[in-house]
Structure 1
Amino acid sequence: MANPSPIDIQKALGGVDYPASAADLVKKAEDSGADSSVLKALRGLPDRQYETPAEVNKAIGGS
């Protein structure tokens, strides 16, 4: 399955306070009702702090 688009990811993460841990990002996406492809991508992130939305997209494989 293809990775979700950076736009879909950031819609799911709207309002996240950065820096945020991978677990924080997954929880935010779950709370916002993100679709399964977004949740799967976020759950696959390395467990570390992410400083910006662009860092999240890069870690998932976006640009």
Structure 2
Amino acid sequence: MAHTSVPEVLGAIKDVDFPADKDRLVTAARSAGASEEVVKALRGIPPEQYTSREDVARSVRVDPDSDLGYNATQRAEQAREGGKPGLSQHLREEPRTPIQEELDR
């Protein structure tokens, strides 16, 4: 299965005037001839008002299979670890390991 990237998603919405909601972004991407993967990624973002392309980039999930295989406990732990709701996991801050802390000293 092919996946999309953030630059592809942002390219599909380059003509959108912000603020824009999710439906407007999806419609604009379809009008621009975006691939089905790009449209699917935009359909997966939270239904909010987005003030800029950067907001969309932070919210779009570019790897739709990234949490497959996680059980309910793992998903709950992942949600508790922080981040704005709807924020892709790869954009969330991760706690520093003891080794990283030791190397910074």
TM-score, normalization by structure 1: 0.87
User: Aligned-pair distance for 1:16?
Assistant: 0.3
| Number of positions where the alignment pairs a residue of Structure 1 with one of Structure 2 | 63
User: Aligned-pair distance for 1:10?
Assistant: 1.2
Q: Which residue of 2 aligns with 1:51?
A: 51
Q: How large is the RMSD of aligned CA atoms in angstroms?
A: 1.8
Return the alpha-carbon distance in structure 1 between the equivalents of residues 55 and 3 of structure 2.
15
Q: How does 1:23-38 map to 2 (within 5 A)?
A: 23-38=23-38
User: Aligned-pair distance for 1:39?
Assistant: 0.4
Q: Secondary structure at the match of 1:37?
A: helix
Deviations 1:2-61 (A, max 9, x none): 752121011100110001000000000000010011000001111110011011011013
Q: Percent identity?
A: 37
Return the alpha-carbon distance in structure 2 between the equivalents of residues 40 and 24 of structure 1.
14
Q: Which portions of structure 1, spanning 4 or more consecutive aligned residues, are displaced by more than 4 angstroms?
A: none
Q: Greater Rg, structure 1 or structure 2? A: 2
**Which protein is richer in helix relative to its size?**
1
Q: In 2, are the aligned partners of 1:4 and 1:37 still within 8 Å (CA)?
A: yes
Which blocks of at least 5 consecutive residues in structure 2 are unaligned?
A: 61-87, 92-105
Which blocks of at least 5 consecutive residues in structure 1 are unaligned?
A: none
Q: Which has the higher contact order (CA 8 A, sep 6+)?
A: 1
